[in-house]
Chain A
Amino acid sequence: MTTNLVAYIILVCTQLSGELVAPTPLYSQPSNASEHFSQLDKQQAVTVEERYRAWYRVHIENQQTGWVRMLSVKLHSEINQQNSFGVIETINAFTGTKATKSTGVRGFDEMSFQRAKPNPLALAKMQLFAPKQQAVNEFVIEGNLTQPLGEQQ
Chain B
Amino acid sequence: MKKSFIIGVLIILLIGCQSTGLKVGNWDVGKIVNAGATLIDSQSTTVEEEITIGENLASMLLGVSPLYNNNQQQIYVNMIGNHLASHARRNELKWYFAILDSQEINAFAAPGGYVFITKGLLDMLSSEAELAAVLAHEIAHTELSHQIKSIKSGDSQNALSDIAFASVSAYQGNTGASQRDQDYAQYAQTLTSFSLELYTKGLSKDDEFAADEEAAFILSRAGYDIYSLASVLKKLESFAADDFALASLYKTHPKPTERLKKVSPILTKLEQTTSNWQTLSERFAHNMSQ
Contacts and interface: CB of A to CB of B under 8 A. Distances in A.
A136 B83 contact: yes
B71 interface: yes
Interface in A59-94: 70-71, 73-77, 79-81, 83-85, 87-88, 91
B128 interface: yes
A104 B282 contact: no
A53 B227 contact: yes
Given A51-B227, A53-B225, A119 B192 contact: no
A115 B220 CA distance: 40
A123 B288 contact: no
A143 B283 CA distance: 8
B126 A120 contact: no
Given A76-B238, A131-B78, A146-B223, A70 B63 contact: no
A130 interface: yes
Given A107-B248, A118-B63, A145-B223, A129 B200 contact: no
Nearest to A151: B86
Given A70-B234, A119-B59, A146-B223, A113 B123 contact: no
Task: Please tell me the size bucket of the interface on A.
Answer: 35 or more
B165 interface: no
Contact of A122 (B62, B82, B106): B62
A6 B282 CA distance: 8
- The contact size tier of chain B is 35 or more
Contacts of B240: 77
A153 interface: no
Interface string B250-270: 000000000010001001100
Contacts of B13: none
Nearest to A17: B238
A102 interface: yes
Contacts of A122: 59, 62-63, 66-67
A18 interface: yes
Interface in A116-139: 116-120, 122-123, 125-127, 129-131, 135-136, 139
Nearest to A81: B243
Interface stretch (B39-47, B91-99, B134-142, B145-153): B91-99
Given A104-B65, A122-B62, A146-B223, A131 B79 contact: yes
B74 interface: yes
B259 to A, nearest CB: 12
A79 B235 contact: yes
B65 A75 contact: no
Given A102-B68, A118-B27, A146-B276, A108 B104 contact: yes
A127 B54 CA distance: 13
Given A10-B288, A107-B102, 7 more contacts: A74-B237, A81-B243, A91-B289, A106-B244, A107-B104, A135-B79, A143-B128
Interface of B: 25-27, 55-56, 58-60, 62-68, 70-71, 74-75, 77-80, 82-83, 86-87, 94-98, 100-104, 106, 108, 114, 118-120, 123-124, 126, 128, 187-188, 191-192, 195-196, 199-200, 221-225, 227, 230-231, 234-235, 237-240, 243-245, 247-248, 260, 264, 267-268, 271, 276-278, 280-286, 288-290
12 contacts: A77-B240, A81-B243, A84-B124, A88-B123, A104-B101, A108-B102, A116-B64, A118-B27, A119-B60, A119-B62, A129-B78, A131-B79
Which 6 residue pairs of A and B lie closest in terms of their CB atoms, listed nearest first? A102-B119, A146-B223, A104-B101, A75-B238, A116-B63, A145-B223
